[in-house]
Structure 1
């Protein structure tokens, strides 16, 4: 007799239950704005993980002390790498002043990237990573507003290389569960890492909790994933002192891999986690074309047990 799974992660079958959702430009469906509920106030669950009054949009200060000297609240720090999205034409700025307004003017409604294939939604790319067992994903909702996903946990289990794909990158494979697009190829798989985490909620405030799962085995890291890491990576400035010490020990006692960042190898080896969110930013100077970029922010997870990763545990794990 089978019982219902208690796993918090989304199953492959759950994607089959989702209705096909296309942009209004494809369906020609008019949206009644009166039916859209106004944004809800931030909750305790949300503020503990993502943007809050303690976040400093600067990369100078890493943490602040609370009333309890034994506790530290870590701030989000800006990643120096930004992702170019598009040039901002004068028409875009005419009636849309903020970066978010301009993005909404250009992208499909509820999309935060451009794709020539209007059926390749964020859900499509997310399902690719779940279907290949590359990740497990667990969305978290506001208890007072279950329809509002405030943050999502992503457990990274593996990264498929082209050799593991087993065929030419343009050849297609079928999803293991029914889906409105039944197939995908390795190009889609690479794009999935880029677009699966571009989800945003109605309040435009959502964060991601990334974690290298204990099942993640030592493997060859594809170059395209190194490019992904440059944007999503937990930069060294967010690390607490014990983790920095452990990182320095790891660097000293391991051989660096060609074209693979040592920080990536360190996080994989220690199965570490970090928190990330993204937003939009306009970059312009008097002599450059104004452009819209995606800006990434990361911070350390406050609840991580620092005793699990220090110089001593690193040396023991490398024996």
Structure 2
């Protein structure tokens, strides 16, 4: 094995936790855009290759914005802690941890640079990665980082995301985050074990408050698919979609949630440092194989049409 290969393999941590065995449930269908008639009859992976930009699984709003760029923004602003785990000393990612520390509001974003105090959408120079030159970004890029970074896929297309809110996060969160990110990537209560569901129903908390208060993680993965959608009197159209699945993490100790002495209000806030490693530069398309589901809760979130 050459030294370059060893260095690349060491960028990621070995698998340290067993995978969950709960069933994935379809929790959101994100409609990307309408598939044009001339490619409708082609295989799904061919359609994806003809529609999506090379190496990306999202439609970029500006050039030269890859997954590594978006991860760097979230790390630099101490919004998210990333950890990547591999299996059997290989570079194939088994799962990725995504610990949410904070979501900056427009006002907090402006506070990062006194020259843009009146407009978060003014561009500013920011160094978001070590040993890299400053880049020109604004608050829209920060929002796009949240929207796009989870659409990373490695060559196996079998990895998953472990997501959780760290108790340091400040609530309430920005409206765009709630109506966009949480609607798209948040879990469904259908993944809860019965005892946790009972505790949730008695808590009088929103789902996000409940997940935050007890730092409950959820496991997420996604895949490409197609869906026919009827638009009023315009007829039926076929959309390329990203179907998002979530499930319960079986190793989570839920005893302190269900016992009578569980805390009735969110815990105190504190600060946590940010940890990160980099994504691989090359992002490939997933294998569009459906996950089976016995209970489906659809939350539609339209993209470009």
Shared fold (TM-score greater than 0.5)? yes
- Specify the SS of the correspondent of 1:82: strand
Cα distance in 2 between the residues matched to 1:222 and 1:318: 18
Which of 54, 61, 85 aligns to 2:32? It is 85
1:271 aligns with 2:271: no
Cα distance in 2 between the residues matched to 1:181 and 1:104: 32
- State the shift of 1:109 in Å: 2.4
1:49 aligns with 2:19: yes
Summarize deviations over 1:59-108 as a string: whole Å, max 9, x none: xxxxxxxxxxxxxx4111011x32111111123235x312x331122222
Which of 129, 148, 158 aligns to 1:205? It is 158
* Number of the residue aligned with 1:188: 141
- Specify the SS of the correspondent of 2:220: strand
Q: Please give the TM-score of this superposition, normalised by the length of structure 2.
A: 0.72
Cα distance in 1 between the residues matched to 2:257 and 2:203: 10
Cα distance in 2 between the residues matched to 1:137 and 1:213: 12
* Number of the residue aligned with 1:221: 173
- Specify the SS of the correspondent of 2:168: coil
- Specify the SS of the correspondent of 1:192: helix
- Specify the SS of the correspondent of 2:39: helix
1:306 aligns with 2:254: yes
Which of 198, 207, 210 aligns to 1:245? It is 198
Kindly report which structure 2 residues correspond to 1:147-186, keeping only aligned pairs within 5 A, or say none: 147-166=91-110, 167=117, 168-171=119-122, 172-176=124-128, 177-179=130-132, 182-186=135-139
Cα distance in 1 between the residues matched to 2:225 and 2:47: 10
Alpha carbons of structure 1 residues 236 and 116: separation in structure 2 relative to 1, 3 Å: closer
Alpha carbons of structure 1 residues 122 and 105: separation in structure 2 relative to 1, 3 Å: same
Summarize deviations over 1:263-309 as a string: whole Å, max 9, x none: 01111121111000011110126841111111110000010001121
Kindly report which structure 2 residues correspond to 1:75-154, keeping only aligned pairs within 5 A, or say none: 75-79=23-27, 81-94=28-41, 96-98=42-44, 100-145=45-90, 147-154=91-98
Task: Kindly report the root-mean-square deviation, in angstroms, between the aligned alpha carbons of the 2 structures.
Answer: 2.6
- State the shift of 1:314 in Å: 3.4
- After the TM superposition, which parts of structure 1 deviate over 3 Å for at least 4 consecutive aligned residues? 45-50, 176-181, 313-319
Q: Which structure has the higher relative contact order (CA within 8 Å, separation 6+)?
A: 2
Q: Please give the TM-score of this superposition, normalised by the length of structure 1.
A: 0.69
Conserved 8 A contact 1:246-1:314? no
* Number of the residue aligned with 1:280: 224
